Structure 1
Amino acid sequence: MESRSGLRGGLRRVEGSLRPRLRGFRQWWTRSLAAWLPARMRDLFGLSPQRLLLQPAEGGLQLALWRGEQVRTLAHVPLPPEVEQVDPLGRLLAPSMARVPRWLLLPGSAVLRRRLTLPAAAGDRLREVLGFEIDRQTPFTAADVSYDARPLGRRGDQLEAELVVVPRATLSAALAALGPLAPTLAGVDVAEADGSPLGVNLASGAARRRDDPSRGRNLILLLVALLALAAGMWQMLANREAAADFFAAQVEAEVERARSASLERRQLVDLIEGGAFLRAARAGRPTMVEVMDELARRLPDDTYLEKLSVEGDRILLIGLSREASALVARLQGSTLWSEPTLAGALQPDPRTRMDRFTLTATLNVADARPAARPATGGPDAAGGH
């Protein structure tokens, strides 16, 4: 049980120290973003801090607009009667001005201010710390005043702050003088010498807890920021998908080019191999000139050829000769052909008194098959022909 209570106490202390820091960071972030926008844009989106200041004056109220660290006097109006139930300023102000938060501005003589030096660690809970200093720094007790704390700056490990207190009786009298305007107030501040607000809120606890009038606008801005973030992330995802599709198309194009190059290389290798085969075939085959020269040397002078043809490896001779029966013996033993044979019977030719013969032989052709390529079909194999 003690460990649980200690853990809860530690969580409360962490939450109490983080909450003001997060609030300060949000305010700094909002001011930094608003500084990039023109004044009209800041006014349009409600990013410029502004207040409608109600300051008691002789016979009525002085209305002033505080915006962008500047105070502009608007009008002097009489105090509304206490019996009036509606907002008396709603009829006098424009709709946009009627929505501006209203603050009561007390004169500087109505409050008591004390400047204090505190440890820097007190900055996280400055108002609570200064609440314990009321009895020592002012002639009042904490129950008799409404107070607020204003940080002035840091100096090393010291924090300069100001304690501002107003007696509850004085504050109640000022609120009572406003009549029906008192419930419409967003806070109570103090006027400095130049008429600008000091920057504190001396309202009571109930008034301090009143809903922030700019909360709806802030929620809208937060929703717009979330939508913009989602749209940015979606656009980033779409860009990544488009880049992936582009790279996939590039890879497909490269693969197609590689496939085409491989096909062209295969065709080139086939052409080289075919050319090598033809060259080998020609090298192992006797030429027609060699065949005719060999026939001229072996055939007798009284032999005439009417037809000489070579089809594949078959030689066909048709002609007339006085020694036709001896032609087979004369043609044998040649290195250019083999198996010379008479095809059919000899036919005497009465006009020339010679015998017509038909003779065939087999042409000697060397093996024209090229050496076998390696199975891989690599560039070395292609380059060897």
Structure 2
Amino acid sequence: MTTDSSTPGLFTQRLRGTIAVLSSALSWWFSQLGQMLPARIRAGWQQDSFNLTLQLQDQQLTFSAGQQRWTLQAPWEKASLPDTLKPLIAKAQNATLCLPENMILQTRVTVPRNARDYIDNVVRFEMDRLTPFRADQVYFDTGPVTDEPGTEQCHTQLYLVPKDKLETLLNQLQLLGITPDRIIPQAFLSQQDSNLNLLPESDEVSQRSRYQRFQFALICINLLLLVSVISLPLSEKQSQIEALTDEVAQLRSQAEQVFQIREERQTLFQQQQDYITLQQQQSSVLSLIAELTRLLPDEVWLSKMSMQGRSLRIQGEADNASELIALLQNSGKLTDVSFYSPVTQDPRTGKERFMISANQSQGARHATK
């Protein structure tokens, strides 16, 4: 259906087709459910399910509902409606208005084949060229599109009615409590598969529109229930995942504290080892100093003593430096005793200057520890 204010494209047409398929499926579903109802309720339900058809011919308006027919002469007034027709107007699912041929203008429209999905937009743009009216002056719709063999073109029939005439007619029907949701030419009354509708979308507020909205609401509810059935277990799993994530975070925090305590313990242990090593080195140096004090004669002067690891170097002056080698070698705490540099004589004191190197024995080191 085409309106004067909206611009339906390919997406709109496909969406409309999808809704039609869903509506048909729901109708079949409801019909199958209806077969399970008691006969009295099913009869009442079927009686309420019908379409109201209005045929206009000159000033005569004919109503059709199933096998029943009523004719209303002008002027049309609600008070003049038959009593049997009034409840049917309120119960009708939809109302179709058939216009006579003298109210509808019809012309053939030819467009390129690649524009067939947008033919309504093409017609709206070319309305003032195809007809004596502008697009905002008429309500229109196009019929089935047919390809022209051997060409890259297709054609369709354009049906239109001036706005002023149609709006006047709709206002008169509104006074009767009737709001059509479809307006077609008289010739299309017998074509059940036609989607032609001259009525603008903004005026489709009839019983059928509400019924379609009800069907769409049912589809949405079913989809919502389906999503709920799927999402509830997922939500529960998500809650479990979040709980496990919190537990993992707590355990990770505890593990980090344990690693921090372990690192502090390693640091303290290393400091303790360094202290013990330093203390042992000091004890070893003190032990060597005590041993040298015991071994060396009183006339020997030591001016410098250095120790690195097991290596010991002493520097000083003595009357006879050579006898110091034997004294130190026989101590049992030193090994590899030898002069590190040649012995020289101090001219001022007359004593011999010496520099002796030695290694601390392993037994002495263990005894120190």
Q: Same fold (TM over 0.5)?
A: no
Higher relative contact order (CA 8 A, sep 6+): 2
Which interval holds the TM-score relative to the shorter structure?
0.3 to 0.5
